[in-house]
């Protein structure tokens, strides 16, 4: 495969923010751009959405509440649906 250099100008903040996201995804800038270009060719247009799964505030609060409940030994747990339904009907 023959390669060529591509020189582009982008805003420094955009570069830094994108680089952080790519790093979290295990990619470097070159790999991310190559993925974008190859997929653009295959799809014949802007092809995909690649992002980190970051929960919104409501979801993050619900996850934290679930963790608190799971680690609290005073919270009653249920091993079957019948017992849970009975408790909900009380």
Interval 3-34: pLDDT, tens: 999 999 999 999 999 999 999 999 999 999 99
pTM for the structure as a whole: 0.53
For the cut 90, the answer to whether the pLDDT of residue 2 exceeds it is yes
Kindly state whether residue 33 falls inside one of the protein's structural domains. no
Kindly state whether residue 13 falls inside one of the protein's structural domains. no
Nearest alpha carbon to residue 29 among 1, 47, 7: 7
| Number of structural domains in the chain | 1
For the cut 90, the answer to whether the pLDDT of residue 90 exceeds it is no
Q: Are 87 and 76 in contact (CB under 8 A)?
A: yes
More confident position, 77 or 61: 61
Kindly state whether residue 20 falls inside one of the protein's structural domains. no
Kindly state whether residue 79 falls inside one of the protein's structural domains. yes
Kindly state whether residue 43 falls inside one of the protein's structural domains. no
For residue 83, the enclosing domain spans 57-89
């Amino acid at each position: 495969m023959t390669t060529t250099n591509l020189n582009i100008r982008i805003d420094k903040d955009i570069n830094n923010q994108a680089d952080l996201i790519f790093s979290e995804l295990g990619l470097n800038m070159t790999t991310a751009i190559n993925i974008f270009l190859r997929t653009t060719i295959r799809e014949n247009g802007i092809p995909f959405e690649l992002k980190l799964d970051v929960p919104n505030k409501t979801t993050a609060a619900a996850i934290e509440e679930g963790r608190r409940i799971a680690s609290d030994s005073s919270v009653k747990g249920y091993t079957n649906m019948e017992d849970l339904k009975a408790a909900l009907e009380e």
